[in-house]
Amino acid sequence: MPGLTSGVLLLGMFAAGKKLGYRDTGEVRRKVERQQTRPKPYGPPKKLDRTCDIALDFRNGWPCYRVSPSGTRPGTEVLYLHGGAYIEEIGANHWHLIRQLATDGPAHVTVPLYPLAPRGTARGFVPAATELAASLTERAAGPTVFMGDSAGGGMALALAQRLRDSGRTPPDELVLISPWLDVSMENPGIAELQPGDPMLAVEPLRFAGALWADGLGPGDPMVSPVNGGTAGLPRTTVLIGTRDILLADARRFRDLASATGVTVDFHEERHGIHAYPLWPTVEARRARRQLTGFVRRAASAGVRPVAVRH
């Protein structure tokens, strides 16, 4: 069955106007207010129980799910960090991808649900998340993959950098989906991309990024990991579309990482919108198959990295 294409979805999103996504600062403010006064549910859909075993703990003060395929004991660990500009909760599209990673990887998928800004901040969450990440990489019998979309993609990179800098065990692979790597949004390449992006705009993202930074400068690597250095990072895969203003900093990261000897697999989807692998399109289904393939690739490599101290 052919299904929806990225081109058709793109036209529909432009028709929807500024209320969709993060294109209007006033609307983003209202998103923050609604989430703080009427929080959205964050739990996985019930149909996930049909194929996966789900565990939940609050040991760190926030919910952390562990999703595993029923009847299977996979050797790969995936740490998945969801997007939403640090102000929106995990959604059904994230859980759909998490199920596919768990069952088709197969993998144990750990999903921390960070407290949203402005209640949650990088200064409060990232150090605790680093400890969670270290517990996975240091105790795992097999390979580990850090993966995230949008804000979660930036956070996945920040956690890998912090493990590297502290001399702790890094992940075997990083997979970044439309990662938000610089909350300052000052890359001059953004202006050229802006007319083609139906979801994101500079000022609304700066507003959301400042809430998450909360006292940290926008250049701090905990909130803008493009500034955290690339030497010593594991093999990294980036999936991003050409209709996404975050492409400018994704390309910048690719160039910086490649220059320091990091293997970067860079997939640039023509007409792909922000976080395109999460949408119900033909191109997204292909991308999700790629993502599960990256998990299997890590499993087949089966080699644990050596920690590099900087």
Determine the Cα–Cα distance for residues 157 and 235; give it in Å rounded to an integer.
12
Determine the Cα–Cα distance for residues 170 and 136; give it in Å rounded to an integer.
10
| CATH number assigned to the domain comprising residue 264 | 3.40.50.1820
pLDDT at residue 148, as a whole number: 98
Q: Would 306 be classed as within a structural domain?
A: no
Phi-psi region of 260 (alpha: psi -120 to 50; beta: other; left: phi over 0): alpha
Determine the Cα–Cα distance for residues 224 and 226; give it in Å rounded to an integer.
6
Q: Which residue has the tokens 């990225």?
A: 6
pLDDT at residue 123, as a whole number: 96
Q: Would 47 be classed as within a structural domain?
A: yes
Q: Would 309 be classed as within a structural domain?
A: no
pLDDT at residue 2, as a whole number: 55
Using a pLDDT cut of 90, give the percent of the chain over it: 86
Q: Would 37 be classed as within a structural domain?
A: yes
Question: Is residue 202 classed as helix, strand or coil in its secondary structure?
Answer: helix
Task: Count the Cβ atoms, other than its own, within 10 Å of residue 39.
Answer: 10
Q: How far is CA 195 from CA 79, 242, 283, in A?
A: 34, 11, 22
Global pTM reads: 0.94
**pLDDT value at 21 more than 90:** no
Q: What is the pLDDT of residues 166-205, one digit of tens each?
A: 999 999 999 999 999 999 999 999 999 999 999 999 999 9
pLDDT at residue 89, as a whole number: 97
Is residue 144 within 8 Å of residue 136, measured between CB atoms?
yes
Could you tell me the end-to-end alpha-carbon distance of the chain, in angstroms, rounded to an integer?
51
Strand order of the sheet with strand 76-81?
52-57, 64-69, 107-112, 76-81, 144-149, 173-177, 235-243, 264-273
Is residue 236 within 8 Å of residue 59, measured between CB atoms?
no
Q: What is the pLDDT of residues 201-237, one digit of tens each?
A: 999 999 999 999 998 999 999 999 999 999 999 999 9
Among 142-146, 161-165, 302-306, the range scoring the smallest mean pLDDT is 302-306
- Structural domains in the chain (count): 1
Q: Would 308 be classed as within a structural domain?
A: no
Is residue 165 within 8 Å of residue 99, measured between CB atoms?
no
pLDDT at residue 302, as a whole number: 64
Q: Would 106 be classed as within a structural domain?
A: yes
pLDDT at residue 283, as a whole number: 94
pLDDT at residue 299, as a whole number: 84
Phi-psi region of 85 (alpha: psi -120 to 50; beta: other; left: phi over 0): left
Helices (H), 181-226: 190-193, 202-213
Q: Would 303 be classed as within a structural domain?
A: no
**pLDDT value at 304 more than 70:** no
Range of the domain at 65: 6-298
Is residue 237 within 8 Å of residue 112, measured between CB atoms?
no
Is residue 184 within 8 Å of residue 216, measured between CB atoms?
no
pLDDT at residue 13, as a whole number: 76
Q: Would 307 be classed as within a structural domain?
A: no
